[in-house]
Amino acid sequence: MSAPVIVATDLVKTYKQTAAVDGISFEVAPGESFGLLGPNGAGKSTTMRMVGAVSTRTSGHLSILGMDPDAHGPEIRSQLGVVPQQDNLDTELVVRDNLIVYGRYFGLPRSHVAQRADELLEFAQLADRKKAKIDDLSGGMKRRLTIARALINDPRILLLDEPTTGLDPQARHILWDRLFRLKEQGTTLVLTTHYMDEAEQLCDRLIVVDKGRIMAEGAPAALIREHSSREVLEVRFGSERNETAAADLAGIGERLEVLPDRVLVYAQDGEAALVEVTRRGLEPITSLVRRSSLEDVFLRLTGRSLIE
Amino acid sequence: MTSVIPPRAAVRADPAKSRRYGAWYVVEHKLRAVRAYFWTMLVTAFGTPFLYLFAFGVGLASLVVDSQGDEFVDGVGYLQFVAPALIVNAAVLVAAEEYMFGMLLGFKWNAIFIGMNSAPLTGRQIIDGMFLFVAIRAAFTAGIYFAAVALFGGVISPWSVLVVPIAMLTAFAFSPVAAWSATITEDRGQFNIVNRLIIMPLSLFSGTVFPLSQLPVFLQWIGWISPIWHGSELSRQFSYGPTEPIWLSVIHVLFLLALAIVGWRLTVHFSVKRLDR
């Protein structure tokens, strides 16, 4: 395997007294799609800013493309594409000009940037909006433009901080499709998300982060195998009765998780578990059998839900 | 519609160029944004001097001439006296706008600084670029103003063209305002307060429309600490002077330079710190 493009060892970032990132270690291989999954405030964005060579680490070792961000910030950043959590497109410029001024920051010639901007607007499905004002774009379009902007310098690593937060389902799927194509073409992706489906779709490997620490690491399927059962039966008895019903469910499946609005029964065979629930004379208002997901992994590891 | 990302380009990002020309890329960006409101800027840049020159150079001047005779002060007419100071004031006003709104815009409302910094540009380059842009705006404003003064017959000496760089230097002397803006995270009307309680009074009590010596002694100190007074007096020396000893002119230059450099260094310092979250 070729040398990793990102190596982080015992990475720490402290603000005043609180540690936002508290000793995180990971490596990312070239061409890999790597994710940081965790709830808001877990330290994902802070980690991304350190990897993006804009935030100085408090301690630990960090190497991006073989360089130390403390000494070679501009050199590292010239090979990164960054999609921040909050769009920072220039609303005083039209769509195409946003790409052009940004491309110039990388020392690229004007003619090259102009040609590349047109190609990327095609890729981002914004070719017909090149003269549009930023404020007239939808949330999904702004995100796609930000991704196009991040690709203007042909980056070796694309950093995406919560790329689909705040988008409607259709816009999310368009975006995933574009990211998936990038991945297929070998671009190294590093993304943070608090959506488990996004992590499952896009990441080859991920770390589950909570309170600035790594809770687990691995491929999505392996993490699910390791920390959860194959299937989950979700039953709802009404918010008053979930607790008491849970007592009667004891022994069904491998494990129970009582949430305020439902009870989760972890089992190899969800349908069989549901049959047993009915046999015991319990009558859930609704029931659902599904595959285990990263949400279950997170719940298992932290006792909390990803989206709170 | 293409579904694949364009193939890897032969032209690669050049961090050495970003290191060298970063500040100019910021200027390029700002100038491109100006295109959208270039006409407004042009009309303001031409309109303002004509309004002021009519009001002061023609209107107020006739009153002054009635009471004081043709030679108002320093042995020149009122228009010649007031014009250099008006040019300096105009440059200061556009600079102050950039130091306050331009800065908070870049950090917050239209956070282009954050984007520039996630590309190869450094905090220092972003601020240098902003100040270069201020220099261009100040030169543009002062240059047009100077041309208008010439049209009104206010230019006596060819040296008076030096009012333009002096106006730019005076504009830079207000850069501590930018340093302060770099520390602001919420706009609670502070900018209006600075405009009304600092910049406006400074321009009123800085010997702009009447000589500082006309003020009671206990108010003259406002002029002495005001970059506008230093800039205006300095530009008068070249417009029709000298009217003061050379050491005083040297002090004007040093005072303005010192403020400009301190303000610039502090702005860089606070901005770098702010970007490194």
* B237 vs B170: CA distance, rounded Å: 15
Distance CA A24, CA A152 (A): 30
Query: Which amino acid appears at position B193 of this protein?
Result: I
Q: What is the mean pLDDT of chain B?
A: 91
Contact B270, B276 (CB under 8 A): no
Asked if pLDDT for residue A221 goes beyond 70, the answer is: yes
Side by side, which strands form the sheet with A255-258?
A255-258, A263-267, A231-236, A286-291
In a domain, B23, yes or no: no
What kind and span of H or E run contains B71? none
Please name the fold of domain A6-220. Answer: Rossmann fold (3.40.50)
Interchain proximity B276–A56, CB inside 8 Å: yes
Q: Is residue B114 in a domain?
A: yes
Which pLDDT belongs to residue A308?
55
Q: Residue B36 and residue A93: Cβ atoms within 8 Å?
A: yes
For residue B121, the chain A residues in CB contact (below 8 A) are 74, 105
Instruction: Say whether residue B31 is in contact with chain A using an 8 A CB cutoff.
Output: no
Residues A23 and A50: beta-carbon distance below 8 Å = no
A–B interface: beta-carbon pairs under 8 A: 125
Interface check for B14 against chain A (CB to CB < 8 A): the answer is yes
Does domain A229-291 fall into CATH 1.25.40? no
Averaged pLDDT, B33-59: 87
Domain around B236: 37-275
CA distance A263 to A242: 7
Residues of A with CB below 8 A from B38's CB?
none
For residue B45, give both structure tokens: 């840049």
Give the minimum alpha-carbon distance from A302 to chain B in angstroms, rounded to a whole number. 27
- How far is A101 from A90, CA to CA, in rounded Å? 10
Chain A: closest CA distance from residue B11 (Å): 7
Q: HSE (CB half, 13 Å, CA atoms) of A40? A: 4
Query: Which chain B residue's Cα is nearest to A73?
Result: B120
| b/e code A8-25 from CB counts within 10 Å (16+ = b) | beebbbeeeeebbbbebe
Q: How far apart are CA A294 and CA A282, in angstroms?
A: 28
**pLDDT computed for residue B209 by the predictor:** 86
For B8, name the nearest residue in chain A, comparing CA atoms only.
A154
Q: Is the peptide bond before B242 cis (omega within 30 degrees of 0)?
A: yes
In a domain, B17, yes or no: no
Question: In the prediction, which pLDDT does A39 show?
Answer: 86
Q: A-chain residues within 8 Å CB-CB of B32? A: 93, 97, 100-101
Count of the separate structural domains present in chain B = 1
- Candidates A101, A126, A183, A188: best to mutate against B (most CBs of B within 10 A) is A101
Does residue B225 belong to any structural domain of this protein? yes
Question: What's the sign of the alpha-carbon dihedral B238, B242, B248, B250?
Answer: positive
Question: What is the C-alpha separation between B80 and B201, in angstroms, rounded?
Answer: 22
**SS3 labels along chain A:** CCCCCEEEEEEEEEECCEEEEEEEEEEECCCCEEEEECCCCCCHHHHHHHHCCCCCCCEEEEEECCECHHHHHHHHHCCEEEECCCCCCCCCCEHHHHHHHHHHCCCCCHHHHHHHHHHHHHHCCCHHHCCCEHHHCCHHHHHHHHHHHHCCCCCCEEEEECCCCCCCHHHHHHHHHHHHHHHHCCCEEEEEECCHHHHHHHCCEEEEEECCEEEEEECHHHHHHHHCCCEEEEEECCCCCHHHHHHHHCCCCCEEEECCCCEEEEECCHHHHHHHHHHCCCCCCEEEEEECCHHHHHHHHHCCCCCC
Question: CB under 8 Å to B179, separation ≥6 — which residues?
Answer: B263, B266, B267, B269, B270
Contact B11 A108 (CB under 8 A): yes
Q: What is the pLDDT of residue A307?
A: 63
Nearest to B32 by CA among A199, A93, A228: A93
Residue given tokens 């307060």 in the structure block? B193
Q: Is B7 on the interface with A (CB under 8 A)?
A: no
- The interface pTM score, or ipTM, of the predicted complex is 0.90
Comparing alpha-carbon positions, the chain B residue that sits nearest to A184 is B4
CB A239 within 8 A of CB A261: yes
Domain boundaries, chain A: 6-220, 229-291
pLDDT at position A165 is 86
Beta-bridged to residue A214, according to DSSP, are A209
The answer as to whether B74 is a domain residue is yes
DSSP B110: T
* The pLDDT of residue B3 is above 70: no
Suggest the residue from B24, B34, B40, B112 to mutate for an interface test with chain A (most A CBs closer than 10 A).
B112
Per-residue tokens: B107? 């950090």
pLDDT of residue B210: 87
Which residue does chain B place closest to A16, by CA atoms? B277
Say whether pTM exceeds 0.80: yes
Determine the Cα–Cα distance for residues A214 and A128; give it in Å rounded to an integer: 43
CA–CA min distance A217, chain B (Å): 27
Check if B211 contacts A (Cβ < 8 Å).
no
Chain A residues closer than 8 Å to B120 by CB: 73-75, 77-78, 105-107
The pLDDT of residue A122: 94
Distance CA B238, CA B83 (A): 12
Instruction: For residue B146, give both structure tokens.
Output: 């100077």
Residues of chain B with Cβ-Cβ distance to A104 below 8 Å are 25, 28-29
Tell me the pLDDT tens digit for each residue of B155-172: 989 999 999 999 999 999
Mean pLDDT rounded to a whole number for chain A = 93
Q: Is the pLDDT of residue B89 over 90?
A: yes
Task: Count other Cβ atoms within 10 Å, centred on residue A237.
Answer: 21
Q: Residue B185: is it exposed, middle or buried by C-beta count within 10 angstroms (0-12/13-18/19+)?
A: exposed
Residue B81 in this model has a pLDDT that exceeds 80: yes
* Chain A interface includes B11 (CB < 8 A): yes
The whole-number pLDDT of residue B1 equals 44
Is B121 strand, coil or helix? Answer: coil
Residue A259's pLDDT is 87
Predicted local distance difference test score (pLDDT) of residue B65: 73
Task: Answer yes or no: do A107 and B5 touch at CB < 8 A.
Answer: no
Q: E strand or H helix at B175, and its extent?
A: none
Cβ distance B120 to A101 less than 8 Å, yes or no, reads: no
> How far is residue A238 from each of residues A72, A210, A281, B111, B277, measured CA to CA in Å?
57, 30, 16, 46, 45
- The mean pLDDT value for A216-241 works out to 92
Which residues in chain B are closer than 8 Å to A56, comparing Cβ atoms?
A: 276
Q: What is the pLDDT at residue A269?
A: 94
Q: What is the pLDDT of residues A136-189, one digit of tens each?
A: 999 999 999 999 999 999 999 999 999 988 888 988 898 899 898 888 888 999
List of chain B residues whose C-beta atoms are within 8 Å of the C-beta of residue A54: 117-118, 275-277
- Please give the residue of chain B at the shortest CA–CA distance from A76: B120
The better pLDDT of the pair A2, B199 is held by B199
